[in-house]
Amino acid sequence: MKFFIDTADISAIRELYASGLCDGVTTNPSLIKKSGRDFKEVIAEICEIVDGPVSAEVIATETEVMLAEGRALAKIADNVVIKLPLTMDGLKACKIFSEEGVATNVTLCFSANQALLAAKVGASYISPFIGRLDDIHVDGLELIQEIRQIYDNYGFETEILAASIRSPLHVKECALAGADVMTAPPAVIAGLSNHPLTDKGLAAFLADAKAAGITV
Ligand code: E4P
What's 57's domain CATH number? 3.20.20.70
Return the closest-CA partner of residue 85 out of 52, 118, 112, 54: 118
Please state, rounded to an integer, the average pLDDT across all residues of the chain.
Answer: 98
**What percentage of the chain carries pLDDT values higher than 70?**
100
- Residue 200's pLDDT is 98
Phi, psi of 165 (to 5 degrees): -85, 125
- Residue 145's pLDDT is 98
Protein residue whose Cα sits closest to atom 1 of ligand 1: 163
Rounded Cα gap, residues 3 and 52, in angstroms: 10
Judge whether 106 and 86 are in contact, CB under 8 Å: yes
Average pLDDT rounded to a whole number, residues 51-57: 98
Predicted confidence band at 195 (pLDDT cuts at 50, 70, 90)? very high
CA 25 to chain centre: 6
Residue 44 Cα to ligand 1 middle (Å) = 20
Rounded Cα gap, residues 24 and 47, in angstroms: 9
Protein residue whose Cα sits closest to atom 8 of ligand 1: 164
Rounded Cα gap, residues 125 and 49, in angstroms: 21
Judge whether 141 and 133 are in contact, CB under 8 Å: no
Predicted confidence band at 165 (pLDDT cuts at 50, 70, 90)? very high
Domain range for 65 is 2-212
DSSP state of 167: S
Q: How many domains does the chain have?
A: 1
Predicted confidence band at 31 (pLDDT cuts at 50, 70, 90)? very high
Three-state DSSP state, 123: coil
Pocket residues: Cβ below 6 A from ligand 1: 6, 26, 28, 107, 127, 129, 131-132, 163-164, 183
Predicted confidence band at 15 (pLDDT cuts at 50, 70, 90)? very high
Pocket test for ligand 1, best of 5, 7, 28 (most atoms within 8 A of CB): 28
Active site residues: 83
Three-state DSSP state, 135: helix
- Residue 89's pLDDT is 98
